[in-house]
């Protein structure tokens, strides 16, 4: 079943479950914050508690993210490899939860030739089905990295998650020394009421370089509403 077909089945149920119960008189319930979209109630507490970066660091993160996005859009793996962390490489996470023990990590040399690499890897498991995501890098890239043109994503946040669903998000704990830029599309088809949102999170860590520090890519996280 395609994701669109699955959403078509689940949206009415999710909308019904998200409606408040008219009979409640609890003042605490009426004071609770509203949720803008079905499934948006589960967010990362650690991420929301992260203080915003200093303006200078935010500017550097935005600039670095723009270079990474340009390389991804052009499928230019050599340029992307030059932006990768030299000793830790880049971890690829298919969903918001980052499994630091099983998610695929590509070192810069592997990343440089990844698009033409015929080797199939297991990148995780498909949400809702549980079967392995077994793809070449090119296949994974098409399904879990460049699913949309994120250079024109309407929403951008620094060290703050925009997209939230019912999958635990642990970017802040998986990368305790990192900073991330989230590129977010709030949805594509009105009939799904925002449940077809997608985000790409680019995670960076600072590496000493020429007496200063350079932001290097350590993670690419794909996030979407999940079952």
Q: Average pLDDT by consecutive 10-residue portion of the chain (227 residues)?
A: 50 43 36 35 43 87 98 98 98 96 97 98 92 97 98 97 84 96 96 93 94 94 89
Task: Give the global pTM.
Answer: 0.79
Start-end of H helices in 90-177: 108-112, 137-144, 171-174
Please give the Cα distance from 9 to 42 (Å, whole number).
21
Domain boundaries, the chain: 43-224
Output the CA–CA distances (angstroms, integers) from residue 32 to 28, 63, 108, in the order listed.
6, 37, 46
Please give the Cα distance from 180 to 21 (Å, whole number).
37
Residues 6+ apart with CB under 8 A from 72: 80, 145, 146, 150
pLDDT at position 156, please? 98
């Amino acid at each position: 079943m395609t994701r669109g077909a699955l959403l078509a089945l689940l949206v009415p149920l999710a909308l019904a479950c998200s409606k408040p119960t008219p009979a409640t008189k609890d003042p605490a319930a009426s004071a609770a914050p509203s949720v803008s979209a079905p499934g948006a109630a589960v967010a990362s507490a650690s991420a929301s508690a992260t203080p915003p970066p200093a303006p200078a660091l935010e500017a550097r993160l935005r600039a670095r993210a723009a270079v990474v996005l340009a390389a991804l859009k052009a499928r230019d793996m050599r340029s992307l490899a030059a932006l990768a962390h030299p000793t830790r490489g880049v971890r690829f996470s298919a969903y918001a939860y980052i499994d630091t023990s099983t998610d695929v990590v590509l070192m810069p040399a592997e990343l440089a030739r990844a698009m033409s690499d015929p080797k199939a890897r297991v990148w995780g498991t498909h949400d809702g089905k549980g079967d392995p995501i077994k793809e070449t890098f090119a296949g994974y890239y098409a399904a879990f990295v460049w699913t949309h043109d994120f250079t024109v994503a309407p929403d951008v946040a620094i060290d703050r998650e925009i997209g939230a669903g019912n999958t635990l998000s642990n970017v802040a704990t998986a990368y305790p020394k990192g900073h991330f830029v989230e590129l977010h599309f709030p949805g594509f088809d009105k009939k799904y009421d925002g449940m077809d949102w997608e985000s790409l999170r680019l995670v960076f860590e600072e590496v000493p370089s020429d007496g200063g520090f350079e932001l290097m890519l350590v993670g690419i996280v794909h996030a979407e509403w999940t079952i």
